Amino acid sequence: MLELNAIRAEPERLIEGLKKRNFQEEELSIVNQIIALDDQRKSTQTDLDQTLAERNRLSKEIGDLFKQNKREEAESMRAQVGELKEQASEMEDQLKNIQSELTELLYTVPNIPHPSVPSGNTDDDNEVFKAWSGELPELGDDAKPHWELAKDYGIFDLELGVKITGAGFPVYRGKGAKLQRALISFFLDEATEAGYDEVIPPLLVNENTARATGQLPDKEGQMYYVNEDNLYLIPTAEVPVTNIYRDVILEEDDFPIKLTGYTPCFRREAGSYGAHVRGLNRVHQFDKVEIVRIEHPDRSYDSLMEMLGHVERILEKLELPYRILRLCGGDLGFTSALTFDFEVYSAAQKRWLEVSSVSNFETYQANRLKLRYRSENGNRLAHTLNGSALALARIVAALIENNQTPEGIVIPEKLRSYTGFSVLS
């Protein structure tokens, strides 16, 4: 969440940022509500401190009065101390309620967009940061989308997934399962070669973990919840991996911290229907390799560009046409200051498919995580970043569509040592 001191110091900056996120005028009043509530907190804290100081002073005098045999005065003063104790208790409860209300209000405020974030309402307003420079692949009229190819080659089975679980839970089979496993290994090897330390995190997290990275309360409706245990299935490895450093104070020499992890991901993704979400275009369970960085604030945007380069190199090795979009204010994630999306071109569907988001959260997650580092000026919040490198479902869709031939589906050369075959037939 945003730092309270920063909101008080630059309320106009927050208001302009919220406008870029398309907040309406009546919604912008939340800034004044936060400041007013903080003023109330400070006033209550001052009154409490004064009351406690007066109680302590009188308590000390009572002892002196008893020593002087001034029992009547001492008993009168003891009654005053009792009243002050009750007042202090009421103020402490009031202060606790104000702090809780203030924290919950801060949880509802999204991150301030980076100055480079373009204005806009929807994904149609996203800016093309880097366009594909080559020719887009064109397939013949008999080209098939991946959900038809899956049936022809036994790659995955959506209907079997419906039988076992429900819609959006594909079952990968045969060479399709091996292709999936090959991509996971390839992505992890690329990450570790780039200096990211591999971790295998839990697939379920508690409420504190989900709240620390911003999934709660913003994305509660998109997460699968295990009621009896009060646990959530992870929507991305970002959640458990970033939380490794919750409540940690780092040294400046610890930067950069680079982590990677493969996990299945679970998202409810309710609401959309039609051809654009057919097959693997939108599923409730998918595999993804995530890269996470914890950085010094002075270097986080250089690191963001480095992460973009990492994802680019993977897509180039997979021989997939791609482009990079800078998300507009209306499409920007709740916790992100700046996000770039990677899309690959699906030749059979003749459309771009999102396969990665790479984001800088600046101090927004770190403030919730209480993730700090020691500096000459005291403890400061670190910056957190993450990115998909990569999400497999749509990568598989684009790979099998773009590489279909009469002889079968040709596997990109860089992937063949992982699959053990060059053609899926």
Is position 115 within any domain? no
- 99 and 172 assigned to the same domain: no
Minimum mean pLDDT range among 3-7, 65-69, 284-288, 339-343: 65-69
- 151 and 74 assigned to the same domain: no
- 24 and 159 assigned to the same domain: no
What the block records as the tokens of 175 is: 């060479």
Is position 112 within any domain? no
Is position 116 within any domain? no
Tell me the DSSP string of 135-150.
PPP---TT---HHHHH
- Paired residues of 15 in beta bridges: none
Q: Quote the pLDDT of residue 274.
A: 55
For 272, other C-beta atoms within 10 Å of its C-beta total 9
DSSP letter for 125, please. Answer: G
* Residue 78 annotated as binding site: no
* Residue 417 annotated as binding site: no
Distances (CA, A) of 165 to 77, 160, 170, 287: 71, 9, 9, 17
Distances (CA, A) of 139 to 69, 260, 292, 319, 406: 103, 36, 37, 16, 12
- 53 and 139 assigned to the same domain: no
The C-alpha angle 236, 242, 247, rounded to 5 degrees, equals 145
* Residue 12 annotated as binding site: no
> pLDDT by residue (tens digit) across 30-65?
999 999 999 999 999 999 999 999 888 888 887 777
Q: CATH no. for residue 11?
A: 1.10.287.40
For 143, other C-beta atoms within 10 Å of its C-beta total 17
Is position 117 within any domain? no
Q: Quote the domain boundaries for residue 396.
A: 123-424
Q: Quote the pLDDT of residue 62.
A: 79
Confidence of residue 272 (pLDDT cuts 50, 70, 90): low
> pLDDT by residue (tens digit) across 181-240?
999 999 999 999 999 999 999 999 999 999 999 999 888 889 999 999 999 999 999 999
Does residue 242 contact residue 260 with C-beta atoms inside 8 Å?
A: no
Boundary residue ending a domain (79, 107, 135): 107
Boundary residue ending a domain (80, 107, 134): 107
Q: What percent of the chain has pLDDT over 70?
A: 98
Helices (H), 336-411: 364-369, 392-402
* Residue 284 annotated as binding site: yes
* Residue 81 annotated as binding site: no
* Residue 54 annotated as binding site: no
Does residue 385 contact residue 290 with C-beta atoms inside 8 Å?
A: no
Asked if pLDDT for residue 415 goes beyond 90, the answer is yes
* Residue 285 annotated as binding site: yes
- 400 and 276 assigned to the same domain: yes
Q: Quote the pLDDT of residue 341.
A: 98
Burial 108-137 (b: 16+ CB within 10 A, else e): ebbbbbbeebbebeeeeebeebeebeeeeb
* Residue 169 annotated as binding site: no
* Residue 413 annotated as binding site: no
Asked if pLDDT for residue 75 goes beyond 90, the answer is no
Which 3 state secondary structure label does DSSP give 35? helix
- Number of domains into which the chain is organized: 2
Asked if pLDDT for residue 70 goes beyond 80, the answer is no
Report the half-sphere exposure of 311 (CA within 13 A, side-chain side): 33
Torsion of CA 312, 313, 316, 321, to 10 degrees: 0
